[in-house]
Structure 1
Amino acid sequence: MLTAIKKDGTWITLPEKMSANVIDEWRKSAEYYCPCCKVEMTIKAGKVRIPHFAHKNSSSCRASSEPESAYHLMGKRKLFQWFLSHGFQVDLEAYLPEIKKRADILAVIGGNRYAIEFQCSVITEVEFMERTKAYQSIGIKPIWILAAKSLKRKSLYEFSLSRFHWLFVTGSFHHPFLWMYCPETDHLSVLKNLTPFTPRTVFAELTTASLKLLPPSRALPQNCFRFPFLPVWRYKRNGWSLHRVKTARRCDPFFEGLYLHHISPATLPIEVGVPVRGMLLIETAPIEWQAWLYMDVFHEKRTGEKISIADIVHVFRKRSKKGEIKFRPLPLLHEKPIEYPVGQYIMLLEQFGYLSKLKEGVFIVEREFTLPFTSDQAQILEKSFYDKHKLMMEKRNIQYNQ
C-alpha cells in the first residue's frame, strides 16, 4: 500500500523515492494505520523494493489479500499521477467503507465515479465478480486494467487470452476491448476488435500510446472500420479441420456426434465455422457450436423445408445444459441473450442465400449446406465459398461503438 492514516486521522501517501535517512525519520515521527482494518502498519523499503506500507503483523485485512509487487505499486502511482496531471478529481487507494473495499484509484469524471483497478496478479473469478458488483452497488463504475506483461502475443493479429483475461473485456458487444498498462514503459494499450477462434485463441488489434501523449479524455479506442482477420481465420480453420482430431479426448461428445453423422473434422461443411458478431459470448469454439447446429438442425433439412428460430434456440440451449456448449462470463459488458450470436449466424446464412424469411422467426431453406467427401474437395469448396461471401462476411463483423 502507498497510503495510510495517522492517529489523528490524517491521510498520508509515501513519496515515490525516499532515502534511508528519510525513511527512518518517517518511522520515528508517527504511527501509521491501515485505512481499512485500522491495524498498525510499518514502512518497508530497500534498494530494490519501492517504499510502501505493510501490516506489522499477519492480518486478514482485505487490503492485504494480494501481495503487491513493485510493478503494481509503480503502475497505480503512475496512473494516479496521469489523472491528476489532467485536472481530474482523483484519490489514490481510496477506501470505501460502504462496501469495505479499497480501490487502487478513485476518479470523478464527468460527474461519475470510477474505480480504476490495475490488476497484476490472478484472482479468482468469484472475487473479480464480487468486487465488480460491490462497486456497482454504490454507483461506481469499475475500470479494470490488466498488467500488459501478462499478454501473450502469437503473431500480428493472434493472441492468447485465458478465461481470467476475458473477465476484463469491456465496452459493448458491438465494440469489445481490453485495457492494459505497462508502468515500465508508461504505455497504455487497448486490445480491440476481439474475434475469438477457440476458448483461448483470439484475433485482435493492439494499439499502444504513451501516457505522456494521451489525455484520459482520448483513451477510449476508436471504432473499427475494417475486419482484417479473414485470411488468418481461414488459415486457422483449415488447420483445425486437419489437426483438431489429434487433441480430441476419448469419448468427447463432439467427436461422437461427428462420428454418428459420418462426418470428420476435415469434411465439415464450409458454412460451419464462420465468424459472427457477438460470438465472444460463447467460450466453445465457433466451428464447434456451429457444427452442433448443423448436426442438430441443418443436416436433416432439405430445400423448401421450414426452420424456426425457436427450434434452433431449443437445441442450442439443450447442448448448453449438457455442457457441450459453454459460455464466457463477461461481467463488464451489458447482458446480452446467449442466443444473440446464434441469431447473428442465422442472419448471415440468410444474407448468403441459404435461408429466406417466411415470417418472423421462421425461415425456408433455399440452399442446403454442402458436405464435402474428401479434404481436397473441402479445400476447393472453401475457396469458392470465401471468394463469393468475403465482402459480406467482413461487413457483418466490423465492430463499432453504439
Structure 2
Amino acid sequence: MHTKRMLAAAIAALATTLASPAGAQGVIKIGEVNSYKAQPAFLEPYRKGMELAVEQINAAGGIGGKKVELVIRDDNANPGDAVRAAEELVSRERVDLLTGTFLSHIGLALTDFAKQKKVFFLAAEPLTDKITWQNGNRYTFRLRPSTYMQVAMLVPDAAAMKKKRWALVYPNYEYGQSAAATFKELMKAAQPDIEFVTEQAPPLGKVDAGSVVQALADSKPDAIFNVLFGADLSKFVREGNTRGLFKDREVVSLLTGEPEYLDPLKDESPNGWLVTGYPWYGIDTPEHKAFLAAYQKKFDDYPRLGTIVGYSSIMSLAAGLKKAGSPDTEKMIAAFRGLEVDTPFGKITYRPQDHQSTMGGYVGRTKNEGGKGVMVDYRYVDGATVLPSDEVVKKLRPAD
C-alpha cells in the first residue's frame, strides 16, 4: 500500500511537471525552426547571432530571473517538415513561443500554424509581404524589412536612372514572385513609360545560368532587376560577366550587398550595382560598434546580415517577454504591439497595425575593391519611411 501511494504521488508530480509551462521551471524555452542545411551561408551567421544574444541575456540575469534556452529544429527547406518541427516543439518540447524561418513559403506555413495553434510566432527572416498583410494574423509578427519595403528602398534610385527597357530575373517561388511584382508596380507608378521586356524565373537553387543570361541579353534591356541570391547569384554573375551582360547596363539587385552573397563572388564581384546589403565594416554608430566588438570577441569573425537578424530576433523576444511579464501568448501579443527594441541598426518598433517591425536596411553600390566585393556610397533607409499608409494596410490585412 505504501509503495502504491508513493507511485501515485510520483505520477501526480510528473503530470504537474508536464502540464506546467516551461517558463515556470526556471527557463524560458524559445522554439526555432529554420533551413540550416539548405541555406548555410545566411543561417550559420544567424545562429551565431542568436547565441550571442542568449549569452548576453542570461549573463545579465535572464528574464525575470529565468534563463533563456533555444530549442532548434531544421525544416529541410520544406513547409511540411517545418510544420511538423513546430508541432514537436510545441507539443513535446513545450516551448513557450516560436521564431525563425528563412524561405518565404515556409514562413507562410508557420504563420498559418501559429494561427491554428494560437501560439506566438516571430518570423525573423522570411520577406514575403503576405506574412504581415494578406495572410497576417494576431499571433504572428515579423522582424526583417518585407519584400515591399526592400524594393521601395531601391525604387527612387532605380527610377532616377531613367531606363525604359527593363529585364527581370528572380527565383520562382513566393519571395521572388512577390519581389518582381512589387518592383513592376512601384516602377510603373514612378515611371509610367517603363517597359518590361522579359522575365526569367528559374527554380530556386537550380538556375541554368547560361540560358538565363542569353535570354536576358536577347531582350536587349537597358537595365536589369535581379532577385537571385546564394549559389544562384554566383552562377548568374559568373555567366553574365563571361558573356558581357552587365557591360554598360544598370543592374538593381536585392540582397546582393549582403556579405553572405557578395563575399563568395570575390574577384568576380560586379561594379556599380545598386543593391541592398550590410556594410558592417563602415557603420559608425555606437550601437553597431558595441555589437560588432562583442561579436568579434566571441567568434573571432565578422558578422553577416544573418547575424543581425538572429541577434535582433532574440533581443526582440527578450524585450517582449520583459514587457509582458510572462510568455503567455495573449500577453506577448499585447506586449509586441508597439514594442520598441534596441538593435545594432538602432531602435525599431513593431507596428500595431500590421505587426511589421520598422527595421530598415542599407542601400548603396557594389565595388570590386582589390578582388573583394564591398558596398560604397551607402545610406541607411529607415523601414518606417517605406511602408504604405495605414489605409492601404487595412485593405490588405484581414481583421484580427
TM more than 0.5: no
Higher RCO, Cα 8 Å, sep 6+: 2
Structure whose alpha-carbon radius of gyration is higher: 1
Select the structure that is richer in strand: 1
Structure with greater proportional helix content: 2
